[in-house]
Amino acid sequence: MSQYKAPLRDMQFVLFDVLDAEAQFQRMGFDDASRDVLEAVLEEGARFTETVLAPLNEIGDRVGCSHDKATGTVTTPPGFKQAYAQYVDGGWAGLTSPPEFGGQGLPHAAGVPLKEMIDAANLAWGNFPLLSHGATEALIQHGEDWQREVFLKPLVEGRWTGTMCLTEPHCGTDLGLLKTRAVPNDDGSYDITGTKIFITAGDHDFTDNIIHLVLARLPDAPAGSKGISLFVVPKIRVAPDGTVGEANGVRVGSIEHKMGIHGSATCVLNFDGAQGYLVGQANKGLMAMFTMMNTARLAVGLQGLGLSDRALQNALAYSRERLQMRALSGAKFPDKAADPIIVHPDVRRMLLTCKSLVEGGRLMGYHAALLVDIAHHSPDADERKQADALVGFMTPIVKACLTEWGVECTYHALQCYGGHGYIAEHGIEQLARDARITTLYEGTTGIQALDLLGRKVMQLQGAGLQVFLGMIETFCQEHTGNAAVAEFIAPLRDKAGEWQRLTMQVGQRAVANPDEVGAAAYDYLMYSGYVALAYWWARSVAASENSTQPEGFKAGKRETARFYFARILPRTLGHAAAMESGAASLMALDAERFDT
Amino acid sequence: MSQYKAPLRDMQFVLFDVLDAEAQFQRMGFDDASRDVLEAVLEEGARFTETVLAPLNEIGDRVGCSHDKATGTVTTPPGFKQAYAQYVDGGWAGLTSPPEFGGQGLPHAAGVPLKEMIDAANLAWGNFPLLSHGATEALIQHGEDWQREVFLKPLVEGRWTGTMCLTEPHCGTDLGLLKTRAVPNDDGSYDITGTKIFITAGDHDFTDNIIHLVLARLPDAPAGSKGISLFVVPKIRVAPDGTVGEANGVRVGSIEHKMGIHGSATCVLNFDGAQGYLVGQANKGLMAMFTMMNTARLAVGLQGLGLSDRALQNALAYSRERLQMRALSGAKFPDKAADPIIVHPDVRRMLLTCKSLVEGGRLMGYHAALLVDIAHHSPDADERKQADALVGFMTPIVKACLTEWGVECTYHALQCYGGHGYIAEHGIEQLARDARITTLYEGTTGIQALDLLGRKVMQLQGAGLQVFLGMIETFCQEHTGNAAVAEFIAPLRDKAGEWQRLTMQVGQRAVANPDEVGAAAYDYLMYSGYVALAYWWARSVAASENSTQPEGFKAGKRETARFYFARILPRTLGHAAAMESGAASLMALDAERFDT
């Protein structure tokens, strides 16, 4: 079984030494978010996730969820329900929700380390509370007063959970095709009818009620994506006065058998005249849903991060214990039968790759969360606007890169185990299977790439990129003459310049041929992620040198940054060359000629 | 469920249009290996694998093998045993084995397409007959006359199967640590005692007997890898006169629960005074085993290739059917609700990546197999020597690259399915799980990399590399002025030159610091694979232009080669930069500082 220990020291380093989170929160008016409070949250979160959630990860995978066709009910793995009760009792559900609905009102970024811990400890379990946040946000932003009154408190307290019901059998990415219908009733409610698939946490035995946020079409709706409305549809009917009634017309058709996250119920939900209420404006549902999706995408990025960290922790422990072969430069532990495999350069390559992607990725992910707070709560309107542009730009990068790196890190970690990694009992292959969903749901990597290049760069004229390039330049200027980071400044500046050039280049090409956007998108996305990480690594070194961290910690940051610049950042060369080669080699081949 | 259709046209193209296999086989004295015979083998192989093996792939995964603790017997999934009987009845088992032991005497390379088809159709099933080949080869090369007499005919005919028993709980890569003991008896036999793990096809219900080839230590053996001997240990005792006796002292302790290849029994075998016979010289067992391992490594490379091809086939079919979004350059199928996703550049990127790795990889793999034949059967001693050097050099590249690309291609294929790819019923996630073993067994990618750079390049002074570079230069010279491949000549020559330079560079560094070999090995391996594939793609285009293949086929080769040079070959840039950065960034960090 794989182990998990929350990386508290690095989380604190990221929050306090690099991002200066306490001061940031204070100036945004989060008076309760002092360092003491945040550290207490981290420590309690670590205790809960390490001792309650992590031990359930393996049984969740082995037993999975089950669906009783006769009653339509879903049963979660042993221990999951009890763990959820502890989560609710501990007040974790509403950590960052508004106090007026029973939340604790901490900033968004203060909830992110807890999120990472949950994902690392037990990704499948974490999917149950995760979707409540999306539902909560949709109702806060778009719900009517009575809807907020009735639904939000139980959601925030965790007494009910939420879902997002978008996908249908024939459409996922292309929601404009969706068919679920909403027919108005005289009492202001709607009858919702249709089939939704891939509904994460679509049913379970944790709570008495589940609040589905459902996309559907009104009878007079325009075709395509401009005719989609958002509805709130409880599993058990809830009247506008809050009275809880009978079972609603929504039933679990089946649950999916999946590659991983077996402990998470992925449901087919059949809505058959289920009673629902319109949320926000008619035909504006897709926009409302996209608001939720941005937060959900950052959250899925954290899933990739959490799994990467857990995989690394276990691979590291194994690599220190497993004795096999002697170091090429001579025995390092001559008293042992062989050297631990961590002496071998290639094992170090895999571990350092994970370490550089995990620690750099943590900064990138936490910073994006801080931007969400700044975009909403900064007292400075200009800063809010810049943060909003930057978080829009970073969201697809965080989502796609942290999940792609999740796949990569679980791959390396498993590889460190050799054949033992393939055996279920070590628990590492579960992490690899679980990680595989993260590059798919909430928009595949390809969709993130199009969002980044097509929307955030082309449509929005690269506003977010310019903010980020400004941050890089500011950093480089501020640290001219700082010996601790001198070696990183020139390569970072070079890459920033190249990033800008490549962006211009693809923009010019896209004017002539729109396929150039799709052709460059993936490589542009990964390129951006690697340059962003170079910036965060340089900042990590600067911040650690400037901190009261022990010398060993500083050395860890310094050497990992060097490794990153020497061995990971050069991946940008291949991505740049692929982008520069243009769309021709992708588009030339007739679809009929792909067969061998 | 995923489908499989043997890629006969491309297999024929590779064998006959590119490698000129018929003429090669004829000049080596394989008189029966005419094109007609080889094509009949391909067609019958396709029929068998498509109709018998492929349909059992899903049930093999779902039901898996089971182990009865009480009786110690292993039961294979439904249909597996019957399929094996058909395989034996069809004469497939001995296709490339010597006629004197009941084989059909076809060249090694003629068996390789069948191998690829089996792996693609049903990897787990394919592991049962696979290991017989290793045992057969070990006995042919190292066995005494009576051992060949007694064991080979049933193995070649498929009436018995074989295993390779190397790994023990505390040692895999480092076989010098192994503990299994062999104590001589008065009658010339040995009592074998010890525990072997990860024994593929270690037990099953296909045949009456199983012939284990076991590594163990004699009582007076030197310590380490120079004290290991090879023994033949049947599951049911066999006397030197061929009399089959009682059950031997070998028992299945358990079977592993694995990430994939559930239909393949991976056994813990407990040898408890089992009767065995020494094969070859005492204390020379590791060398004998390595002979087998080279062929096994090429065979595992083919597993990666087969899985990649099946994954691509299914992703391609899905991408043509699945309607989602419109092409960025305007609707391509305005009469449909949306365009098939194959119109989107990013989907094409994934499909073309697979296509270029599969078809290029097929050439690389088949050519290596042809080299095995040439190394043994060429009438020209110098050619035999060169082929031997080249196959030694190419073996780790074929094994590691084809399996890494297998992981990558199953990744891309799954990604084309979006969320549906994560659902078991589509069968694509099984291919991804199955592929994951191939970079581990028969030596991890890291071990292949050390074999390539440490042994084949450094110890053997790069003899194989020089042969390959010679092939590239010959090709470039022969095709100067050939308009069909003109665009590929200069980049290919550049890469060949760089390959040589990088090899020299790491060689010089390694003199000063042996860690430089381990530090560069992985990137050197992948770099080599990509340059080798560039050569094979250029040769593919030249050969297809020169062939009677239809224009559509030629266009497919041409455009895929262009894609490969534009978008895959640039990966060498990152690998070269990583190599050039040297060992320092890998070795600097103290093992205690890896924790976050």
B-chain residues near A454 (CB < 8 A) = 328
In tens, the pLDDT along A305-364 reads: 999 999 999 999 999 999 999 998 899 999 999 999 999 999 999 999 999 999 999 999
Which CATH fold would you assign to the domain B8-152?
Butyryl-Coa Dehydrogenase, subunit A; domain 1 (1.10.540)
Q: How far is B337 from chain A (nearest CA, A)?
A: 8
Measured CA to CA, the distance from residue A151 to residue A148 in angstroms comes to 6
Q: For residue A447, which of A297, A229, A224 has the smallest C-alpha distance?
A: A297
| Chain A residues within 8 A of B325 when measuring between CB atoms | 173-174
Residues of A within 8 A of B450 (CB-CB) are 346
End-to-end CA distance of chain B: 42
User: Rg of chain A over CA atoms, in angstroms?
Assistant: 24
The minimal CB distance from B345 to the residues A518, A552, A574 is found for A518
Q: How many alpha carbons lie under 13 Å from residue B253 in its C-beta half-sphere?
A: 14
pLDDT of residue B288: 87
Question: How close, in Å, is residue A52 to chain B by CA atoms?
Answer: 22
Q: Does domain A8-142 have CATH number 1.10.540.10?
A: yes
Q: Which two tokens stand for residue A428?
A: 């590492």
| Residue B222: per-residue pLDDT | 96
Judge whether residue A289 has pLDDT over 90: no
* Average pLDDT score over residue span A160-182: 95
Amino acid residing at A381: A
The answer to whether the CB atoms of B422 and A439 lie below 8 A apart is no
Q: Where are the domains of chain A?
A: 8-142, 161-285, 445-587
* Per-residue model confidence (pLDDT) at position A294: 84
Q: Out of B22, B58, B429, B442, which one is annotated catalytic? A: B442
Q: Mind telling me how many Å the CA of B197 is from chain A's nearest CA?
A: 10
Alpha carbon distance A382, B35 (integer Å): 75
DSSP string, A560-571: HHHHIIIIITTH
Average pLDDT taken over every residue of chain A:
97
CATH architecture label of A161-285: Beta Barrel (2.40)
Whether residue B407 and residue A411 make contact (CB cut-off 8 A), yes or no, is yes
Task: Concatenate the DSSP letters of all residues of A362-388 into one string.
Answer: HHHHHHHHHHHHHHHH-S-HHHHHHHH
pLDDT digits (tens, 9 = 90+) for A496-517: 999 999 999 999 999 999 999 9
State whether ipTM is beyond 0.90.
yes
Contact A537, A564 (CB under 8 A): yes
Q: Which residues of A touch B552 (CB under 8 A)?
A: 590, 592-593
List of residues 6+ apart from B156 with CB closer than 8 A: B93, B94, B97, B98, B101, B102, B103, B136
Decide if domain B161-283 falls under CATH 3.10.129.10: no
Centroid of chain to Cα B210: 23
Is A596 a residue whose pLDDT tops 90?
no
**Average pLDDT along chain B:** 97
Positions of E strands within B154-256: 161-165, 181-184, 190-200, 210-216, 229-234, 236-238, 244-247, 250-255
Q: Kindly tell me if the per-residue pLDDT of A1 is higher than 90.
A: no
At A109-132, the pLDDT tens digits run: 999 999 999 999 999 999 999 989
CB contact under 8 A, A10 and B596: yes
Q: Flag the least confident range among A129-138, A276-285, B570-579.
A: A129-138
Q: Which CATH architecture has domain A445-587?
A: Up-down Bundle (1.20)
Q: Give the residue from chain A lying closest to B314, CA to CA.
A: A595
Locate tokens 């008619």: which residue? A282
**What is the C-alpha radius of gyration for chain B, rounded to an integer number of angstroms?**
24
CB A503 within 8 A of CB A462: yes
Mutate to test the interface with A, among B412, B523, B557, B586 (most CBs of A within 10 A): B586
Distances (CA, A) of B291 to A429, B136, B148: 31, 12, 17
pLDDT value at position B294?
Answer: 84
Q: Residue A292: is its pLDDT beyond 90?
A: no
Q: Shortest CA distance to A528 belongs to which of A505, A489, A502?
A: A502
What is the CB neighbour count within 10 angstroms for residue B461? 12
Measured distance CA(A396)–CA(A374) in Å, rounded: 18
What's the rounded Cα separation, in Å, for the pair B454 and B511?
12
Q: Average pLDDT of A240-253?
A: 97
Residues of A within 8 A of B596 (CB-CB) are: 7, 9-10, 309, 312, 355, 358-359
* Chain B interface mutation, best of A586, A587, A590, highest count of B Cβ atoms under 10 Å: A586
A249-to-A190, A212, A218, A274, B521 alpha-carbon distances in Å:
12, 12, 18, 4, 61
Pair of tokens at residue B347: 């989907």
Is B442 labeled as catalytic in the residue annotation?
yes
pLDDT of residue A288: 87
Nearest-by-CA chain B residue for A349: B586
β-bridge mates for residue A276, sequence order: A190
Cβ contact (<8 Å) for B346 and A566?
no
Residue by residue, pLDDT tens for chain B (596 residues) are 899 999 999 999 999 999 999 999 999 999 999 999 999 999 999 999 999 999 999 999 999 999 999 999 999 999 999 999 999 999 999 999 999 999 999 999 999 999 999 999 999 999 999 989 989 999 999 999 999 999 999 999 999 999 999 999 999 999 999 999 999 999 999 999 999 999 999 999 999 999 999 999 999 999 999 999 999 999 999 999 999 999 999 999 999 999 999 999 999 999 999 999 999 999 999 988 887 788 899 999 999 999 999 999 999 999 999 999 999 889 999 999 999 999 999 999 999 999 999 999 999 999 999 999 999 999 999 999 999 999 999 999 999 999 999 999 999 999 999 999 999 999 999 999 999 999 999 999 999 999 999 999 999 999 999 999 999 999 999 999 999 999 999 999 999 999 999 999 999 999 999 999 999 999 999 999 999 999 999 999 999 999 999 999 999 999 999 999 999 999 999 999 999 999 999 999 999 889 87
End-to-end CA gap in chain A:
42
Among residues B521, B528, B530, the alpha carbon closest in space to that of B571 is found at B530
Structure tokens at A585: 């080699």
